[in-house]
Amino acid sequence: MTMMRWDPYREIASLRQAMDRLFEDTFLWPARSQYEMAGGNLPLDIYQTKDDIVVKAALPGMNPEEVDISITGDTLTIKGEHKENKEVKEEDYIRREHRYGAFSRTVTLPVAIQSDKAQATFENGMLTLTLPKAEAVKPKQIKVKAKSAIEIAKK
């Protein structure tokens, strides 16, 4: 175990940075979208069942044709571009929070999958990927057979 010298100014600096972020997010940039606040990334829900890895992404207002999904080894990439429908002049906006433009998100999957059997569905703005686990990582059930006392005595 390494020992570090206590520096009280380090804790004050981190508190100051947190306060600066709080004031900046509240007063300077209040109209940031949820994607920008999350670091510009697409928020994902990833969970696993016995046989699959399931990935869910909310893509409101997008069409399935605007989304590109690729799997390389254990890396999943979801990217796309949502084009803006220009109906109102820029100066007529009071507030603008809908996200337009390109996005990309890459994650490393926790287990090997069968990418050729992957399925993607898009319903009501929710993208759901079902990625079957590779046979090597699925849990195997091994039946235990009990030998009778007669079989043991024969040996």
Residue 60 predicted with pLDDT over 90: no
Domains and CATH numbers, the chain: 9-35 (no CATH), 41-86+95-136 (2.60.40.790)
pLDDT at site 88: 61
Confidence of residue 122 (pLDDT cuts 50, 70, 90): very high
Instruction: Fill in the DSSP letter of residue 147.
Output: P
Count CA atoms closer than 13 A to 70's CA, side-chain side: 8
For the stretch 37-73, what's the b/e string if a residue is b when 16 or more beta carbons lie within 10 angstroms of its beta carbon?
A: eeeeebeeeeeeeeebbebebebeebeeebbeeebee
**Beta-sheet strand order (sheet of 126-132):** 44-48, 52-58, 126-132, 119-123
Residue with tokens 């796309």: 80
* Count of other CB atoms within 10 angstroms of residue 142: 5
Question: Whole-prediction pTM value?
Answer: 0.59
* Closest to 112 (Cα-Cα) out of 131, 130, 128: 131
pLDDT at site 6: 73
Cα 122 to chain centroid, rounded: 16
Residues 76-117 have pLDDT tens digits of: 999 988 776 666 666 666 766 666 778 888 999 988 899 899
Comparing 86 with 67, the larger pLDDT belongs to 67
Residues 1-39 have pLDDT tens digits of: 677 777 776 666 677 788 777 777 666 554 444 444 344
